[in-house]
Amino acid sequence: MLSRVADSLYWMSRYIERAENNARLADVNLQFLVDLANQPQADTQQQWNPIISSLEENELFASLYDKLNGKAAIDFVSLQRKNPNSIYSCLSLARENARTTREQISSEMWEQINRLYLFVKSDSGKKLLRSSPFEFFKRITVGSHLFQGITDATMTHGEGWDFILIGKLLERADCTSRILDLKYHILLPSGEKVGGNIDTIQWMAVLKSCSALEAFRKIYVGQVAPWKVAEFIITHSAFPRSIRFSVDCFDAALHHISGSAESKYANEAERLSGRLRSDLDYVTIGDIFNFGLHEYLEQIQKRLVEISAAMHSTYCAGMMHEHSATG
């Protein structure tokens, strides 16, 4: 497979996953606000700030909007063309990458990306976001799931498919860590206790944005405690949006491409990913909290960037034009 094509498939997949995660984040925050609507201390600015922070785009946001409120924040993560990580931008980039690899992906995959892109670009998309943001975000997540299903069912599970898988899972691990980290940025309203009513609602929101609340409930009985939520989202071995699950799967896909045994490594990307995988296999939630949850998540994000870079130099070394996308 052409190096350029491998690179484009990888980024196409990352951008779709990123669009989905933005939709999840915004959607959950909206729900959260509804849940809090009858709480006297609810302050909208406080509620939207963490989202902008977790996207690391505070400056850009400030340059585009006068004040931070729900309307501005939703616009920023959804349709703002100047935000390179808005849903609109992600889907445009995903489609651009798909367009350069149309002979590799199935027609059905292309049509699904194109449909999603045409939707966020259309007036009806804009109207839906205004009249019913929940529905808008639902369209995006369902559209992304549909794309994944179509990919699974219509594309040969060969090298290109592995690159798509890796892109999706690397992005998912990164986004999941950011969603969990969101709680770090959220300040409890003054007078609220850790473990209190609002604290619990906030942790539940984190679970919801990973579609993890129901799965969580089946395993943990009783209180939604911070350490349980973090343990589940970071280290669960079978929940498909946990960090460990994502890392396990892309590590396997990396070995699938090179043909090397999973217990060995054939290149730098596999060495780094194998190491991250075993760290996640053996880490306990106690270790993580001792290290500092926020610091631990930041370190994971850094290691994901390193794996992505190592992969690029292994498989796309001959490429003359480097991809300018951000990790």
Partner 1 sequence: MGDFFEGYEVGDFFDEMFSAPGAVRPHYAKLLGRFAEMKPEEFERKRELAATTFLQQGITFTVYNDDQGTERIFPFDLIPRIIPAPEWDVIERGLVQRITALNLFLHDIYHGQDILRDGVIPKQIVWEAADFRPEFMYFDVPKNIYIHLCGTDLVRDEKGNYLVLEDNARCPSGVSYLLENRQVMRRVFPNLFARHRVRPVEDYSQELLNMLHYIAPESVTEPTVVLLTPGIHNSAYFEHSFLARSMGIEIVEGRDLMAAEGKVFMRTTKGLKRVDVIYRRINDDFLDPQVFRKESGLGVSGLVEAYRQGNISLANSIGTGVADDKVVYYYVPEMIRYYLDQDPILPNVPTYLASNENELKYILENIDKLVIKAANESGGYGMLIGSQASKAERERFREKVKRNPRNYVAQPIIPLSRSPSFCDESIQGRHVDLRPYILYGAKVTIVPGGLTRVALRQGSLVVNSSQGGGSKDTWIVDDDERSNGVAE
C-alpha 151/C-alpha 12 separation (Å) is 12
Give the closest residue to 94 by CA, choosing from 29, 21, 153.
Answer: 21
The reply on whether position 4 binds partner 1 by CB under 8 A is: yes
Task: Please identify which residue in 41, 45, 62, 102 interacts with partner 1, judged by CB under 8 A.
Answer: 102
Q: Decide whether 201 or 252 has the Cβ nearer to partner 1.
A: 252
The reply on whether position 268 binds partner 1 by CB under 8 A is: no
Positions in 58-97 near partner 1 (CB under 8 A): 96
Residues making up the chain, counted from first to last: 327
Query: Is 212 in contact with 233 (CB distance < 8 Å)?
Result: yes
The reply on whether position 319 binds partner 1 by CB under 8 A is: yes
Task: List C-alpha distances in Å: 315 to 159, 168, 169, 265, 309.
Answer: 11, 17, 18, 15, 10
Number of residues that bind partner 1 (CB under 8 A): 25
Six-digit token pair at 172? 């998912």
Half-sphere exposure of 288 (CA within 13 A, CB side): 27
Q: Decide whether 116 or 206 has the Cβ nearer to partner 1.
A: 116
Query: Is 91 in contact with 116 (CB distance < 8 Å)?
Result: yes
Give exposure, 218-236, as e/b (b: 16+ Cβ within 10 Å).
eeeeeebebebbbbbbbbb
Stretch that binds partner 1, among 26-34, 220-228, 268-276, 311-319 (CB under 8 A): 311-319
CA angle 252, 110, 164 (to 5 degrees): 10
Task: Please identify which residue in 67, 193, 218, 321 interacts with partner 1, judged by CB under 8 A.
Answer: 321
Q: In the complex, what is the shortest distance from the CB of residue 82 to partner 1, in angstroms, rounded to a whole number? A: 14
The reply on whether position 324 binds partner 1 by CB under 8 A is: no
The reply on whether position 1 binds partner 1 by CB under 8 A is: yes
Task: Please identify which residue in 37, 263, 320, 324 interacts with partner 1, judged by CB under 8 A.
Answer: 320
Q: In the complex, what is the shortest distance from the CB of residue 133 to partner 1, in angstroms, rounded to a whole number? A: 25
The reply on whether position 111 binds partner 1 by CB under 8 A is: yes
What value does the CA radius of gyration of the chain take, rounded to a whole number of Å?
A: 20
Task: Please identify which residue in 16, 128, 257, 272 interacts with partner 1, judged by CB under 8 A.
Answer: 257
Stretch that binds partner 1, among 37-45, 144-152, 227-235, 313-321 (CB under 8 A): 313-321
Q: Which residues bind partner 1 (CB under 8 A)?
A: 1-6, 96, 99-100, 102-103, 107, 110-111, 114-115, 118, 159, 257, 315-316, 318-321
